[in-house]
């Protein structure tokens, strides 16, 4: 990281703010300049030490920067490149953190004075929360981080961006922009659309009254439908060609399985389920996602006054933060299940041991959802 005396980050939201915090936490000796259209976000970034300077314009931010990182919604890329292009030197390295790479690469090729110095990037990490207030220096630790150089990208530029990614504790993965978008369509964009469709199906059929009965399976499979609609509308639109292809593949497979059911072919049903289980069980554990995993603890206790208060008091006294808490199927005078969600696996294990020590009746605990 010694090759960068000054880094400019355009966008001080969750993604850009977390990057700045991560760089600072790792001991970066240079200066970070931030720019955001939200004055409050810039002020907060400066207050928490994420940036050294809050710039008043994009041009001011990128002038004299050895590296520029674009961390704004994709629909603003054209405006960003147009404003900064005259202030970039021949040596300035430019990278981005957007979720769609072919479109971004086309924008960069249209504006960049030195096309060889643009390296597209996309960290496979995020949160359902947004803004600088949600930023954390740990967002990218142990996360996969795609880099999408093209045939004209300078190997030196790739090396420098790669060093930044490794510096913040992420794992760089090099693919082409086209390959990235195909991967993202299948493992991220289509699953998000399916989650949205499953939830909306209940509304379409006037069956929202089914929601109180939704168990862990429905919640897990539709969890990502709670993502930011404004962000996701642009992701799905800018990657629509790959997404449409993935939808068509899924439609074909779903139609095939429908026919298997019509035929009552138990062998094919079993083979389909078994193959899916084998593949699903091979997914690496503790991978990061847009909707972070939670350590979930399910407590079986009588539905009576004071139970929730005791639980939250115990967690507070032991400095354990509860991200989510709910009563599942709670019924007056009978046993009910209380679900607590804790972001940290380490804190989750600590909470589990505390509750056992306090003789709470535990149903089970798990590290969801790809980590079961």
Interval 242-256: pLDDT, tens: 999 999 999 999 999
Lowest-confidence range among 107-111, 225-229, 289-293, 363-367? Answer: 289-293
Q: Which residue has the higher pLDDT, 276 or 130?
A: 276
- What is the model's pLDDT at position 247? 97
Lowest-confidence range among 77-81, 233-237, 281-285, 333-337? Answer: 333-337
pLDDT in tens, 130-189: 789 888 888 888 788 999 999 999 999 999 999 999 999 898 999 999 999 999 999 999
Query: Could you tell me the pTM of the whole model?
Result: 0.75
Residues in the chain: 372
Mean pLDDT of the chain: 87
Give the CATH H-level superfamily of domain 295-367.
VC0802-like (3.30.2130.10)
**Residue ranges of the chain that CATH labels 3.30.2130.10:** 295-367
Radius of gyration of the chain (CA): 23
**Residue ranges of the chain that CATH labels 3.40.50.720:** 6-175
Q: Are 68 and 84 in contact (CB under 8 A)?
A: yes
- Domain 6-175, second-level architecture: 3-Layer(aba) Sandwich (3.40)
Q: Which residue has the higher pLDDT, 142 or 194?
A: 194
List the structure tokens of 365.
Answer: 């605990």
In the CATH scheme, what is the code of domain 180-281? 1.10.3660.10
In sequence order, which residues have a C-beta less than 8 Å from that of residue 361 and are 6 or more positions away?
299, 300, 301
Rounded CA separation 150/212 (Å): 49
């Amino acid at each position: 990281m010694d090759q960068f005396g000054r880094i400019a980050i355009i966008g001080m939201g969750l993604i850009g703010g977390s990057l700045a915090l991560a760089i600072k936490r790792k001991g970066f000796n240079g200066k970070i300049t931030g720019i955001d259209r939200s004055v409050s976000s810039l002020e907060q970034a400066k207050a928490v030490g994420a940036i050294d300077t809050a710039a008043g314009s994009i041009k001011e931010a990128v002038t004299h920067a050895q590296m520029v990182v674009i961390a704004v919604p994709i629909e603003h890329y054209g405006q960003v490149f147009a404003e900064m292009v005259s202030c970039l030197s021949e040596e300035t390295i430019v990278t981005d953190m957007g979720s769609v790479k072919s479109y971004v690469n086309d924008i960069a090729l249209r504006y960049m004075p030195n096309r060889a110095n643009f390296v597209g990037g996309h960290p496979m990490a995020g949160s359902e929360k947004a803004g600088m207030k949600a930023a954390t220096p740990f967002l990218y630790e142990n996360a996969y981080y795609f880099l999408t150089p093209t045939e004209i990208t300078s190997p030196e530029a790739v090396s420098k961006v790669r060093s930044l990614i490794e510096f913040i504790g992420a794992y760089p993965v090099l693919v082409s922009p086209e390959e990235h978008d195909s991967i993202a369509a299948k493992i991220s964009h289509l699953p998000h659309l399916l989650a949205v469709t499953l939830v909306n199906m209940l509304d379409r059929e006037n069956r929202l009254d089914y929601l109180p009965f939704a168990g862990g399976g429905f919640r897990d499979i539709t969890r990502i439908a709670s993502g930011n609609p404004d962000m996701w509308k642009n992701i799905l639109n800018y990657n629509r060609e790959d997404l449409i292809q993935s939808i068509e593949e899924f439609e074909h497979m779903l139609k095939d399985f429908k026919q298997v059911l019509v035929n009552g072919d138990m062998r094919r049903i079993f083979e389909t389920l078994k193959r899916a289980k084998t593949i699903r069980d091979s997914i690496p554990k503790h991978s990061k996602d847009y909707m972070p995993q939670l350590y979930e603890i399910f407590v079986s206790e009588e539905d009576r006054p004071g139970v929730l208060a005791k639980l939250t008091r115990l967690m507070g006294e032991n400095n354990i933060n509860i991200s989510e808490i709910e009563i599942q199927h709670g019924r007056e005078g009978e046993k009910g299940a209380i679900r607590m969600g804790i972001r940290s696996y380490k804190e989750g294990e600590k909470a589990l041991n505390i509750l056992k020590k306090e003789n709470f009746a535990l149903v089970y605990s798990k590290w969801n959802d790809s980590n079961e």
